[in-house]
Amino acid sequence: MLDTSWRMLLFGLVAGLSPIAVVSTLAVLTSARGRANGLAFATGFMLGQSAAFAAAYFIGAAATMNTDGNEQVAAGLELAFGIFLLAIAWPQRRRPEEAVVVGHSRTKALLDRLRGLRPGTAFTAGTLLGIGGVKRLTITLVAGATVGVAGLGPAEDFAAAIIYISVGGLLVWLPVSIYVVAGARAEDWIAAAETWLTGNQRQLMFFSTVVFGLLLTSDAVVRLL
């Protein structure tokens, strides 16, 4: 259980350290109905991430129900994901400046749309972001399958899922919680954080992807040896 919990924490950190997720959250909080939109967005995000995790968990559990070698299966999944992270990191580092400008323009357009949401559409947007794009969805699927093949008891499976889901959504539900409590007093902090994150999005993505890719790959290799 301890090994699985540690890996869920690591997977959750990889998923949670997503600049686009936290910037999107901050944009929703600065919309006309910040509290309502933020709560709807965070709720949708957590539900979307939970649904993707549950699907991967049941697939992993079913696939290894009558087989041995679950440790090797889990290590193989971790190795594949670590290599995947390293593979997608290099293009992020070498992206031409023109592409960076286009990326910033797309991010700005996305944030402008998020600021115009209502609670219903904020919930939908949060759900889609919680399920994620290629990177987040892959992380969630690997995490869910890892728990599914670990052969733990129901209570331990549930605890591992809670670790991943809560850590993976930390930079969504935490800013929303702060804003719900602090309200207008947090607006200056939110605006400053959004500006900094938007300006450093590419660098943050690259370094977090490389660090976690190396950690996961090395851990998987040790488990397989």
Residue 167 pLDDT more than 70? yes
| Amino acid found at 224 | L
Residue 43 pLDDT more than 90? yes
**Dihedral sign from CA coordinates of 208, 20, 141, 126:** positive
Question: What's the burial of 88, exposed, middle or buried (CB within 10 Å: 0-12/13-18/19+)?
Answer: middle
Angle between helices 19-29 and 119-131 (to 10 degrees): 170
pLDDT for 45 equals 95
C-alpha–C-alpha distance, residues 57 and 68, integer Å = 17
- Name the pLDDT band for 225 (thresholds 50, 70, 90): confident
pTM comes to 0.78
Residue 99 pLDDT more than 70? no
